[in-house]
Amino acid sequence: MAEKISEQEQIRRDKLQKLRDLGVDPFGQKFVRSDTSETIQKYKEFTKEELEEKNIEVTMAGRLMTIRRMGKASFFHAQDRFGYFQCFISKDSVGEQQYAIFKIADIGDIVGVKGTVMKTNTGELTIKVHEYTHLTKALRPLPEKYHGLTDVEERFRRRYVDLIMNDDAKRIAFARPKIIRILQNYFDSLGFVEVETPVLISVVGGASARPFMTHHNALNKDFALRIATELNLKRLIVGGMERVYEIGRLFRNEGMDTKHNPEFTTVELYQAYGDLSDMMDLVENTFRLVATKMNGTAVIPYGEYTIDMEKPFKRVSMAELIKEATGVDFVSNHYTFEEAKALAEKFHVQVEKHFTGVGHIMNAFFETFCEEKLIQPTIVYGHPIEISPLTKKSKDPRFTERFELYIGTTEYANAYSELNDPIDQRERFIEQLKEKSLGNEEANDYDEDFVEALEYGMPPTGGIGIGIDRFVMLMTNSTNIREVLLFPTMKDRD
């Protein structure tokens, strides 16, 4: 199939031979830098005259982003990972051969320079180039600086161009690993150990989600890509590791929107001899710490909101929120399933086919009337047992020791006092199988090995899962999950 090449692209390809004729490899060799656009900022404090006297020499490299040619001399800006730096180049300073090489440069080419630090008459820090090295020829032109990639889908699809043209995309790309490192350092400081568990699993569990399926040829066996790391991490608690966490990729075969991507990253953490209250303290301290380290304050902007994580997080039961919003009291009233369905009809709450208990309807009330009101950090606890198959029961057996953290109407964390009763766990798995038979594709499988692990004895344990992608969204003020994923899942081009 013949390659379609635009006129601009052909002009750039023609320059490959021009470079070779000048003895230059169009795609370059190793280049050793002494400085970056960040490190040279220390010279800002010097005056123009002081810089001339000091004669500070630097070697730098980056991508050409602007060129202002003025006959025998030119200014250009190059971009490295930290930002931009300006260069002044003239035929007198680099010689006729190197200036000829520079004259055929295009925006987007990658170049190296060696020169002295100076200031222009307007006070801009500039490299006066003494040696100019062509490193890589760009065969495609960059988008116009002030228009960039205007098609949002193309921004995410061609992330490499987005990172070149969009300073905010680059800011987020570098913020994400910083956030993860803060989390690791904090959890490590509390005595937790980072571990790895399998991505390919034979029994689906640990969350309510539809899995991706694959086939292992050598074993002639179907596997799922994991939807959670929970059950294997709890096996490690049984084994005596006591405090473990995993930052890992999960895969859920579900829809895509501004808060969901089919593959995403979470951290799950488990603390032996702990419970729900430990996880409440941990999640509050974690969010406050990361916000402060990343933004200098725990009061941060997020979309149209200002989120205050300096104050203690509100802690309220799901039942209280529902009662406040609708007047329906799921705690004091021991509704039958039929009575709960009648209430749902009255309040126009949808009842799904796989709903088998009052707790399903209670959760539907919460999702319908309460979630959208949770702006400031709110820990919602007291989830019904029907939607919490891995959680220890509360004193009221209709409910469990579980909470979810909501900020800006979005769920960020899910935590339990973990169910460690193997007999109860077996019964919960059986209930999940009933839901699956009624059409709930997100119900858990029956994990016999996990029940067996619990029979060896798991200490009372607190556990939590935090969505890393949403967490990065919050900390970088990004309202679309695709902004914080370098390579989000995308539909094909039309």
Residue 60's pLDDT is: 98
Residue ranges per structural domain of the chain: 7-142, 164-313+377-484
Tokens of 210: 């539809």
pLDDT on residue 146: 47
Query: Is residue 100 within a helix (H) or strand (E), and if so which, with residue range?
Result: helix 91-103
Q: Can you tell me whether residue 248 is helix, strand or coil? A: strand
Which is it for strands 125-136 and 110-119: parallel, antiparallel or unpaired? antiparallel
What pLDDT is stored for residue 149 in this prediction?
Answer: 57
Rounded to 5 degrees, φ, ψ at 451 are -60, -40
Task: Give the residue among 249, 267, 252 at the shortest CA–CA distance from 199.
Answer: 249
Give Cα 471 distance to the centre of its chain.
7
What is the topology classification, in CATH, of domain 164-313+377-484?
A: BirA Bifunctional Protein; domain 2 (3.30.930)
The contacts of residue 317 (CB under 8 Å, 6+ apart) are: 331, 380, 381, 382
Nearest one of 208, 254, 231 to 360, comparing CA atoms:
208
Which ranges in 104-226 belong to alpha helices (H)? 152-157, 159-165, 167-189
pLDDT given for residue 419 in this prediction? 93
Nearest in space to 216 (alpha carbons), one of 232, 197, 200: 200
Same fold, 7-142 and 164-313+377-484: no
Distance CA 199, CA 225 (A): 6
d(CA 147, CA 138): 19
Where the chain has pLDDT below 50, the residues are 146
| Residue 381 · residue 405 · CB < 8 Å | no
Q: What are phi and psi of 62, to 5 degrees?
A: 180, -175
Whole-prediction pTM: 0.92
Residue with tokens 């707790």: 359
User: Using one digit for the tens of pLDDT, what is the confidence trace for 329-387?
Assistant: 999 999 999 999 999 999 999 999 989 999 999 999 999 999 999 999 999 999 999 99
Give 70-125 pLDDT, tens digit per residue: 889 999 999 999 999 999 999 999 999 999 999 999 999 999 999 999 999 999 99
Which residues are registered as beta bridge partners of 250? 264
Which top CATH class is 7-142? mainly beta
